[in-house]
Structure 1
Amino acid sequence: MASQPRVTAPQQQTGNIVRDSALGLVPETLDKYMDLTRVIWEGGLLNPAEVEIARLRNARKVNCVFCKSVRYDIAVADGLTEEKVQMIDDDFQQTSLTDREKLILAFTDQYLNDPAGLGSELKEKLLQEFTPEELVHLSMAVAYFNGFSRCAVSLGGMPDELPVMQISVPQ
């Protein structure tokens, strides 16, 4: 991980972990990002714990230290536990996650590795468990998470590890 930042965070700190990162250098863009974050978490068809499972799988695949350490409070309130978070690994199929949660992880992996290569077996399972609208929400959430975690990684300056921290959906 690049511990030297490629871009320095704003001098004036606000107390908001996202606004105080390098993303805070472009508040006009960041404000739209915060709006979209709220819609993904609060306006979609998937519940917050399901959204968080996809976000954390993306964070693990991209290796975004910040994203891996964050837990959204709305997902924790919805029942996401650290025990469940520990199951979001490469052996998730062998865990006690629900079939729906395992499908979210399988879809996220497929999306990140080969979005056009969705096999007929996975497609059939997804359509048995999720509505088309839920799959669109999941697709858009994963695309969003992937873009911003890659942005964070590319900007550098992250430590090798961070403690688990809970944050709120931006208001």
Structure 2
Amino acid sequence: MDTAGVCSELTRLVALSPPKLADINADIRDVCAMTVGLAPLPAETTGGAVDPMVSEFAEQFSIDVTGISNAQRAAIVDLLGSEVFTVATLIYIADFVPRVHAGLRSLGVDVPLQPAGWDHDSQPADFVMNVFLPAVGRMRSVDPVTSEIVRLRGARQHNCRLCQSLRDSGALEAGGCESVYDEIDHYEQSDLSARHKAALRYVDALIWTPAQVSGEELRQHFSLDEAIELTLDVMRNGYNKVAVALGADGARVADGTEQYRLGDDGQPIYG
């Protein structure tokens, strides 16, 4: 995916606006961005009466998704019913697109986010899972070990049990191993390469302090195409926040790890 493709996919995410959820969508776009000190995404409406529970859920999603309590989770499911997964996906878009936008701008890539029109028909979760995430998964500029180190950092920061239990087969074949992955949690004091440390610092900035993200160090070790891919990888991996928020992130293995690889279509293949 080239820069034009990045612009197209991100703008299509911004355009997603289910009519029944327009006020909620506007509210969570304001809440998520302001929580991390970024400009909110444009919204179709200026917002209306939204249950404070939705705003609080979105705020905690952005601050630290691991802080969502079982009581908060149960209450949002009870409030939204069958719409809860759609709303969680809209929160993910409201939370992550501003982060990616800030990261890309720090790399010198300015992506316009104002859509030409609003998409009332696409189902947000379907579009994210079957269009956006695979498009990022098809990118192959970054070497598989670095991609896996970046993925595991996000998995641990968001405490996604499923993601932490997975291992990319391509990365293992390229030299990734548990002794390398064990260094991720204390990477600043580790023997990881300067390249990997730069990537992890950038990941941490996007996750915790996106308003201060800088691409300067990253560009000392990565090409522009690689840096763009890493930025989008953080968002792709960050879809685990939806599963964590809803308590649906359980691992499929009781012990050890499960291998997978990304197919040519960008979708994961397990086993």
Relative to the length of structure 1, the TM-score reads 0.71
Matches within 5 A, 1:20-169: 33=129, 39-89=135-185, 91-119=186-214, 123-146=215-238, 148-159=239-250, 163-169=256-262
* 2: CA distance, partners of 1:158 / 1:32: 17
Instruction: State the identity as a percent.
Output: 28
User: Could you say which residue in structure 2 is the equivalent of 1:12?
Assistant: none
1:20 maps to none
The answer to whether the 8 A contact 1:70-1:167 is kept is yes
Q: Does the 8 Å contact 1:46/1:138 carry over to 2? A: yes
Is the 2:160–2:240 Cα contact (8 Å) retained in structure 1? yes
Measured in 1, the distance between the counterparts of 2:162 and 2:182 equals 16
8 Å Cα contact 1:57-1:88 kept in structure 2: yes
- State the shift of 1:37 in Å: 5.1
- Count of residues in Structure 1 that have an aligned counterpart in Structure 2: 148
After superposition, the C-alpha distances for 1:59-94 in whole angstroms (9 at most, x for unaligned) are 0000001111100111111211111110110x2111
CA shift, 1:167, in A, is 1.6
* One-letter amino acid matched to 2:200: L
- Alpha-carbon shift at residue 44 of structure 1 (Å): 2.6
What are structure 2's unaligned runs of at least 5 residues? 1-65, 78-123, 263-267
1:128, distance to aligned residue in structure 2 (A) = 1.4
Q: Which runs of 4+ in 1 moved over 6 A?
A: none
Residues in 1 aligned to 2:245 and 2:135: alpha-carbon distance in whole angstroms? 25
Residue 158 of structure 1: how far off its partner (Å): 4.5
Assess, with a 3 A threshold, how the Cα gap between structure 1 residues 102 and 155 changes in structure 2: closer, same or farther: same
The SS at the match of 1:167 is strand
Greater Rg over alpha carbons, structure: 2
**Residues 162 and 38 (structure 1), Cα distance of their counterparts in 2 relative to 1, 3 Å cut:** farther
Contact 2:188 2:197 (C-alpha < 8 Å) held by counterparts: yes
**Partners of 1:153 and 1:60 in 2: CA distance:** 11
Aligned Cα RMSD in Å? 3.1
Q: Which amino acid aligns with 1:129?
A: H
Normalising by structure 2, report the TM-score: 0.47
Deviations 1:111-147 (A, max 9, x none): 101122025xxx432221112221111010101111x
CA contact (8 A) 2:170 2:261 kept: yes
1:116 aligned counterpart, secondary structure: helix
- Please give the alpha-carbon distance, in whole angstroms, between the structure 2 residues aligned to 1:42 and 1:32: 14
2:247 partner letter: G
Q: Is the 8 A contact 1:40 1:141 kept in 2?
A: yes
Mapped to 2, the partners of 1:34 and 1:77 lie a distance apart of: 27
Following the alignment from structure 1 to structure 2, what is the Cα–Cα distance between the partners of residues 168 and 44?
A: 13
- Looking at structure 1, the residues matched to 255 and 129 of structure 2 have their Cα atoms a distance apart, in angstroms, of 23
In structure 2, the residue matched to 1:22 is: none
Tell me by how many angstroms 1:163 deviates. Answer: 2.7
Q: Which has the higher helix share?
A: 2
Instruction: Tell me the distance in 2 between the aligned counterparts of 1:118 and 1:143.
Output: 14
